[in-house]
Amino acid sequence: MSELTNKEIAGMLRELAGLLEINGENRYRVRAYYNASRKIMESSEDLKKLAKEGRLKEIPGIGEGIAATIREIFENGYCPPLEEIKGELPTGVLELIQIPGLGPKRAHQLFYELGIQDVADFKRALEQGRIRKLKGFGPKTEENLLKALQEYERYREAILLFQALNYSEEILNYLRKGKDVIRVARAGSLRRQKELIGDLDILVASKNNRGVMEYFTAWPGVQEVLLQGESKTSIITDEQVQVDLRVVSEEEFPAALQYFTGSKEHNLRLRERAKKFGLKLNEYGLFKGEKRLKLEREADIYQALELDYIIPELREDRGEIAAAARGNLPESVSLEDIRGDLHMHSRFSDGAHTIEEMVEAARARGYQYLAITDHSQSLRVAHGMTPETLEEEMKEIDRLQEKYDDITILKGIEVDIDYDGSLDYSDEILSRLDLVIASIHTGFNQDREQITTRIIKAMENPYVNIIAHPQGRILKKRRAYDLDLERIIKRAAETGTCLEINASPYRLDLDDLSVKRAREEGVKIAINTDSHHINEFADMALGVAVARRGWLEKDDIINTMEIDDLLKFLNWRG
């Protein structure tokens, strides 16, 4: 049987449900596949083991038909019904559902009622005003879809940071085994850990450029070689990602790594500074006249220019060179500084694991504390908890706290902010919790004033400690809310409310520029994974990357605190 994970199986079933919906399949069958996908994501059972033992139907929502599909997936390594329906629909129709706000149901309408087969057809129909005439659309929907399309086109070829890191790690591991490879490193926006990446840049030091290029193009993941030269080779991978490999000498490597890492603007300022010192800086080295100065590492370049070392994440021309010259760069937070995770979901709402399993995973990471923050009652799609269920959860946490004396389990909640800014639970309930996170999950299309006022009202509640994913974006899928973030940051500073960097690879919200602005106003930040599965604890590294890009230090972040200090901080707020 194939080694596919529960998450991958669930993704296939969800995609199959969407395509069945586009194809006009019976809605009950469509719903069955969506439900099965969700149940598998919520389950901590090993799906492969259940399939082997003939116990798939023990998962609620999985009948014989869907069980047979899952067995087919394991046997083939792919989903035959999914591939079959992909073959029936035009490729462009499949792409339509990637546009935010245009799900399978609407794609079905566009395909069957207007004959729209791809993104180009869709764009023309929007510009011609034809879509507003369809039932359930109208001028406002048309306007929103045009904005969504523009956003989609802007980021169409971009790769999410976590995907780029995974792709590049596979390539780096391959290159490290090459006999002609002396040194290898990521470069470009990937090394700066931007949230969205274009092409992947890889740098290699070698004495045999041709040998490295031949070895690289022989990598099994290469689908197409776009360019193969003496110093640069570009390929397209079987994941449709462009990778640019540059090969330099070992002597050139430090300067090349600096040059191919920094943003254009950062590098320009660095070259201007080098001129003031009578030096020339380029991708081949740092020169005094015609003589190349000896460099062992990138830091030698900054030192020669009388600058403190600037970490890759800060090389964006946002004042880092002036700060390095003055000696007041931030002491950037690191993953090792994180003491706990304050936003996660268990089986009490829509998580895949029991609280005890979450606790065990947190202990394995060496955390001092974690907060269980399941959804509140109004978010029914995520099995939000009634007050009675919350009471049961609190008792379970008390029971586990008696069992584990080496980690603190905080009683928390992710409480929904309603349309008018009121919260999903009463103050009496919130007052009994150690930690309250408030967030928006509905009413995304309210206007700027309404959304801003909602969040500010929540921050003014004395029991709210953190505003989760404040911008509400889903990278490449849903734009940030139209909100006055400047007002929110200022009010957060006044009320002592923390703002979250949500480390989910699909959110990374707040973004780095907003994080930097929050720090300037003295707002405390929480970096949380919003985990629904213990595997997602590892996403903390992505949140830390955003914090580093946002100039954060350890003291700017509440979950770098020791547990006693954190409890004092939370008690002051609550």
List, as one string, the DSSP characters of 215-281.
HHHTSTTEEEEEEE-SSEEEEEETTS-EEEEEEE-TTTHHHHHHHTTS-HHHHHHHHHHHHHTT-EE
Q: Give the model confidence (pLDDT) of 492-506 as tens digits.
A: 999 999 999 999 999
- Kindly state the helix (H) or strand (E) to which residue 114 belongs, with its residue range: helix 104-114
Q: Where in the chain is the domain with CATH 3.30.210.10?
A: 254-326
Structural fold of domain 1-89: DNA polymerase; domain 1 (1.10.150)
Specify the range with the lowest mean pLDDT, choosing from 66-75, 164-173, 263-272, 434-443: 66-75
pLDDT of 574 higher than 70: no
Confidence of residue 557 (pLDDT cuts 50, 70, 90): very high
Query: How far apart are alpha carbons 241 and 95 in whole angstroms?
Result: 17
Q: Which CATH superfamily is domain 99-152 in?
A: 5' to 3' exonuclease, C-terminal subdomain (1.10.150.20)
Structure confidence at residue 208 (pLDDT): 96
Q: Give the model confidence (pLDDT) of 520-539 as tens digits.
A: 999 999 999 999 999 999 99
Please give the average per-residue pLDDT across 225-238, as a whole number.
94
| 182 vs 140, residue with greater confidence | 182
Q: Give the model confidence (pLDDT) of 363-402 as tens digits.
A: 999 999 999 999 999 887 677 899 999 999 999 999 999 9
CATH of the domain spanning 159-249? 3.30.460.10
Confidence of residue 218 (pLDDT cuts 50, 70, 90): very high
Considering the four listed CATH numbers 3.30.210.10, 3.40.50.2020, 3.40.50.2300, 3.40.50.150, the one that applies to the domain covering 254-326 is 3.30.210.10
Structure confidence at residue 2 (pLDDT): 53
Query: How far apart are alpha carbons 511 and 508 in whole angstroms?
Result: 6
Question: Are the CB atoms for 96 and 107 separated by under 8 Å?
Answer: yes
Please give the average per-residue pLDDT across 260-271, as a whole number.
97
CATH 3.20.20.140 matches 335-573: yes
Q: Give the model confidence (pLDDT) of 314-360 as tens digits.
A: 999 999 999 999 999 999 999 999 999 999 999 999 888 999 999 99
Confidence of residue 3 (pLDDT cuts 50, 70, 90): low
pLDDT of 1 higher than 70: no
Q: Where in the chain is the domain with CATH 1.10.150.110?
A: 1-89
Strand partners for 387: none
Q: Where in the chain is the domain with CATH 3.30.460.10?
A: 159-249
Strand partners for 435: 412
Per-residue tokens: 102: 């245009």
* HEC-encoded secondary structure of 505-534: CCCCECCHHHHHHHHHCCCCEEEECCECCH
pLDDT above 90 coverage of the chain, percent: 71
Confidence of residue 28 (pLDDT cuts 50, 70, 90): confident
Q: Where in the chain is the domain with CATH 3.20.20.140?
A: 335-573
Please give the average per-residue pLDDT across 100-117, as a whole number.
86
Q: Give the model confidence (pLDDT) of 459-477 as tens digits.
A: 999 999 999 999 999 998 8
pLDDT of 18 higher than 90: no
Between CA 81 and CA 363, with CA 5 as vertex, the angle to 5 degrees is 160
pLDDT above 70 coverage of the chain, percent: 99
Please give the average per-residue pLDDT across 530-557, as a whole number.
97
